[in-house]
Amino acid sequence: MAKLKNDRLIRALLRQPVDKTPVWIMRQAGRYLPEYRKTRERAGDFMTLCKTPELACEVTLQPLQRFPLDAAILFSDILTIPDAMGLGLSVIEKEGPKFARPVRTHAEIVNLSVPDPEVELRYVMDAIRIISRELDGKVPLIGFAGSPWTIGTYMVEGGSSKEFSLAKEMMYATPATMHLLLSKLADSITLYLNAQIAAGVNVVMIFDSWGGALSAQCYREFSLQYMQRIVAGIKPDASGNKIPVILFTKGGGLWVEQIAMSGCEAIGVDWTVDIGSVRSRTGNAVAIQGNLDTAVLYSTPQVIRQEVGKVLESYGKGNGHIFNLGHGIHPGIDPENVAVLVEAVHELSIKYH
């Protein structure tokens, strides 16, 4: 593996000194970029884009050609695992993901098998190998997976959901069935992330998009517990380097103390928390990634700089901050405003280091 020319992200994740706060953006390879929309059009549909390693590589690298970002993130989807389990995923624009064969019964879950990442998910590993070669150590490459609870909700609901009625019905009425599903997912995700590491990613992130829909107690039992199991199973890379893990529970601001105890190196936080208060609540035990409100990017360069400044000031002096939005960038945002954001982070953060 090529030595990293820009290791700001890794250093920040390990809470080591950096010259400037590293910055990357959730969904940085996405629909707000005209060049992404072109590649996607060429691919035909979203899943073909994910499943064609050369095209996944192309879109992964696009934002780096525009902005001096401190990381690349694999272009893929959190639902590749259930797709590989045979649920039949399709992603239709504006309708979101749909599974042809959702799982609703204990028997259906018993029958699910854990995918072999180098067989059913080989297209992801191939994409990572190509991206890693193309990046040639320019910046770190982040791999990722959805959390067991988050992926599980889609598998049970058959797609997106607002209330998670079916998934929560399973959780409350037949908890053993839900635990079996989450356990199989935790095993699958652990294998999947370790395969991503073997293929070349430098960091892994777990996206718990829907953990915030749970009660405090259910969050610990049905989401955090399984993420902890994954974190404990993450292996070093081929050279024996520890691979930092970022856990991000959207809407998890109430539980950051517990998330920080999961064994991860960093926690992602959404825009609803004050990042400085998260830092003091977690006692500098982990690095913190976040947390500008994405909607700030609808405003003006002047306001963007001011709001970037507030997040940096709230985190304060010292190590362990990775700048990001509080959730993924929206398709309607002007790429020029992203340039303003990245520049502002690098420029305004110098005085905190």
Q: How far is the CB of 174 from a copy of itself (least distance, A)?
A: 9
| 219 noted as active-site residue | no
- Kindly state whether residue 307 participates in binding a copy of itself, applying the rule CB under 8 A: yes
- Kindly state whether residue 173 participates in binding a copy of itself, applying the rule CB under 8 A: yes
| 27 noted as active-site residue | yes
| 229 noted as active-site residue | no
Do 77 and 124 meet the contact criterion of CB atoms below 8 Å apart? no
Site string for a copy of itself, 16-55 (x = CB under 8 A): ----------------------------------------
| 31 noted as active-site residue | yes
- Kindly state whether residue 296 participates in binding a copy of itself, applying the rule CB under 8 A: yes
Stretch that binds a copy of itself, among 10-18, 28-36, 103-111, 289-297 (CB under 8 A): 289-297
Bridge partners, 349 (sequence order): none
Site string for a copy of itself, 251-280 (x = CB under 8 A): x-xx----------------xxxx--x---
- Of 212, 233, 263, 309, the one binding a copy of itself by CB under 8 A: 212
- Kindly state whether residue 4 participates in binding a copy of itself, applying the rule CB under 8 A: no
- Kindly state whether residue 289 participates in binding a copy of itself, applying the rule CB under 8 A: no
- Of 169, 334, 336, 347, the one binding a copy of itself by CB under 8 A: 169
- Kindly state whether residue 248 participates in binding a copy of itself, applying the rule CB under 8 A: no
Q: How far is the CB of 220 from a copy of itself (least distance, A)?
A: 10
| 122 noted as active-site residue | no
- Kindly state whether residue 164 participates in binding a copy of itself, applying the rule CB under 8 A: yes
- Kindly state whether residue 300 participates in binding a copy of itself, applying the rule CB under 8 A: yes
Q: Which active-site residues does the annotation give?
A: 27, 31, 40, 77, 154
Query: Interface residues with a copy of itself (CB under 8 A)?
Result: 163-165, 168-169, 171-173, 212-219, 251, 253-254, 271-274, 277, 293-296, 298-300, 303, 307, 310, 326, 330, 332
